[in-house]
Amino acid sequence: MAARREPAPALAPGGPATVARTDEAAIGAGLRALQAALAGGDDEGARRVLSGLRAHSTLSARETELVASAERVLAGRALVRGLELALQSEPVPEQAGVYRLLLVARSNASSDVRLRLPPADLKRLRTTMDAKGLEGMDYESKACQALDDLVLVPTVVRRIELLRYELPLGRALAVRERWRLEPRSGEIDCAGVVHPAANVRVQGCEREKLSPLLAAEAVSATALAERLAAEAPARERELLELALRTRVDEREACLDALTPIVARLAKSAPERVAAAEPALRWLTQNRDLGPDAAAWSRFLAARRRPAGTPNAPVDGLDLPDRPRSAQRAEEGPR
């Protein structure tokens, strides 16, 4: 007698078919979360999502490729974060008035790295200030190939000369230059593995040069505020010279000292603040306010906000975190 066939058992909820569909949905959701984390710069979140995706045994070839690509992106970002790149300007010994611009580079990776980026934009903004408080601005940009094949040994500092140049004063009382290097995305190679390299940052540098017509010694951080607050009004040239002779590392303290003085004079003697406008402009690099005493009072008050405070209006004036004039100057001509 032939054996009777039993009907195949029905799949209960949660059986293999349901598991496969759930797994597919979870993988799709994970890939979307991975993309969002990478786009938002949340590397830790991306690593958590990758760990969950790697736990799935049903990844397709395409999904496996996407996961591997994301891992290379994260590894590249870690290597880029380990880079310390900065521009530096220094006098050339025995060549009066000549300077050299250097790229100072260091890597904190555990192995040698090779950075391969397309030519970067090397930009300089030069600003002069004359005795009448008038500014001249000169902007230039050129291609720089210092990052197209840069090899760095762990913790070893490399100093690469980019160019030599002069910083002429002409008839100006002072000249200020700002250098910056803007890299493009490329690749970074570590231990024979190539990773994408994006958002490589290079710290810029500044240099100032004063006319020999000015007194050589620096003034105290409070000198300008004290002179502006004195009973006898100061001339515009005198205030400007005090600003020029204030050391760079004391300018924040100088502006702190000026803040209550400008606030008081903006109400009682706004013409005295107007006379200090070239000095304030040099110290802050804000070219937007002109001789408006009330605007300077609000601007100086706004810069004393605690770190992390939202950019709320101060006395009705909504000020940007950085002066628009400085932003436009750094962007260069469009």
pLDDT at 133 over 90: yes
- Mean pLDDT (the chain, rounded): 86
Report the run of H or E that residue 195 belongs to, with start and end: strand 193-197
Name the band, by pLDDT with cuts 50, 70 and 90, for residue 146: very high
User: What is each CA distance from 175 to 102, 129, 138, in whole angstroms?
Assistant: 20, 6, 11
Measured CA to CA, the distance from residue 25 to residue 221 in angstroms comes to 64
Query: What is the dotted CATH code of the domain comprising 83-210?
Result: 2.60.40
**pLDDT in the model for residue 216:** 87
Structure tokens at 307: 């770190």
**pLDDT in the model for residue 320:** 36
- The pairing of strands 113-116 and 150-152 is antiparallel
SS3 180: strand
pLDDT at 299 over 80: yes
Measured CA to CA, the distance from residue 218 to residue 61 in angstroms comes to 67
Chain centroid to CA 296: how far? 25
Torsion of CA 123, 124, 125, 128, to 10 degrees: -170
Residues of the chain with pLDDT > 70, as a percent, come to: 84
**pLDDT in the model for residue 257:** 97
pLDDT at 86 over 50: yes
Q: Where are the domains of the chain?
A: 17-81, 83-210, 223-331
**pLDDT in the model for residue 97:** 87
Measured CA to CA, the distance from residue 74 to residue 68 in angstroms comes to 10
Spell out the residues 6+ positions from residue 304 whose beta carbon is closer than 8 angstroms to its own: 256, 259
Are residues 105 and 160 in contact, defined by beta-carbon separation less than 8 angstroms? yes
**pLDDT in the model for residue 306:** 58
> For residue range 242-267, what is the model confidence (pLDDT) as tens digits?
999 999 999 999 999 999 999 999 99
**pLDDT in the model for residue 26:** 84
Are residues 44 and 68 in contact, defined by beta-carbon separation less than 8 angstroms? no
- Which DSSP letter does residue 313 get? -
Measured CA to CA, the distance from residue 111 to residue 35 in angstroms comes to 29
**pLDDT in the model for residue 4:** 44
> For residue range 149-158, what is the model confidence (pLDDT) as tens digits?
999 999 999 9
Q: What is the residue-wise DSSP string for 109-168?
A: SSS-EEEE-PPEEEEEEEEEE-TTS-EEEEEEEEEE-TTSSEEE-BT--EEEEEEEEE--
Q: What is the residue-wise DSSP string for 15-55?
A: SHHHHHHHHHHHHHHHHHHHHHHHHTT-HHHHHHHHHHHHT
**pLDDT in the model for residue 304:** 74
> For residue range 29-44, what is the model confidence (pLDDT) as tens digits?
888 888 898 888 888 8
CB count, 10 Å around CB of 308?
A: 5
pLDDT at 1 over 60: no
**pLDDT in the model for residue 222:** 97
Structure tokens at 313: 């209006």
Measured CA to CA, the distance from residue 242 to residue 162 in angstroms comes to 34
**pLDDT in the model for residue 333:** 46
What average pLDDT does this structure show over 8-26?
51
pLDDT at 271 over 80: yes
Name the band, by pLDDT with cuts 50, 70 and 90, for residue 13: very low
* Rg, Å, the chain Cα set: 30
Name the band, by pLDDT with cuts 50, 70 and 90, for residue 61: confident
What average pLDDT does this structure show over 175-190?
96
**pLDDT in the model for residue 331:** 55
